[in-house]
Amino acid sequence: MPNPSDPVARVYARALVELGREQQSLGRIYDDLRQVYDLYEKDRYFRQFFTSPRLDREVKWRAVRKALEGKVSRHVIGLIKVLIDKGRETTFDNLVQQFERYKDEAENRIHAEVTVAAAMEADFRASLQARLERASGKSVEMHERVDPAVLGGASIRIGDKVIDRTLRTRISALRRRLQSSETETAKR
């Protein structure tokens, strides 16, 4: 499980984002980093090999370089080499997570997790996205999750802020008010 408070991952991720911005290759670096991360996540043998502290670093580096050379940019290969040389391979998943966060900052983008009862129609989705972009002043990448339990409306999470306009929440609030007024009436 990635640890967003990992200071080593933040330092490497920030440096990689700055390098990408300077050389106008941020998108390429991101794609290559995701490619290696997908391998890291899906292939447990690769992950075990890559993160094993028991393997000789030079042997590990030669094998990883051979596997990645010509497939990913020299910046990502260079990062992998630094991680291996310094024995910091286990920070890789944290580093990728932090890289994505810093890339979003650099590109003035936020992510909105939108939970709805049924899939949004394209025009509603576009309208909601435009409203969120106007309100935030940033580009918004929406991630839709369908959960029939919300009954209707939507719940939107952006970072640690939640806007809950679901029918389920409104019904729960109405129920609490009714119960509260029943209790007040009974006390009289």
Distance between CA atoms of residues 120 and 86, nearest Å: 47
Interval 25-34: pLDDT, tens = 999 999 999 9
Domains and CATH numbers, the chain: 7-105 (1.10.520.20), 108-187 (3.40.30)
Pairing of strands 139-146, 109-116: parallel
75-90: burial string, b at 16+ Cβ within 10 Å, e else: bbbebbeebbeeebbb
Q: What is the pTM of this model?
A: 0.75
Q: Could you give the residue ranges of the DSSP H alpha helices within 43-155?
A: 44-51, 57-68, 74-86, 92-106, 122-136
Average pLDDT score, the chain = 91
pLDDT of 185 above 80: no
Average pLDDT score over residue span 146-161: 91
Residue 3 has what pLDDT? 61
Contact 107, 119 (CB under 8 A): no
Strands 161-166 and 139-146: unpaired
Q: Which amino acid type is present at position 168?
A: R
pLDDT at 170: 83
Per residue in 58-90, pLDDT (tens digit) is 999 999 999 999 999 999 999 999 999 999 999
Q: Indicate if the pLDDT at residue 186 is higher than 70.
A: no
In the prediction, which pLDDT does 177 show? 84
For 164, phi then psi, to 5°, come to -110, 105
Share of the chain above pLDDT 70, in %: 94
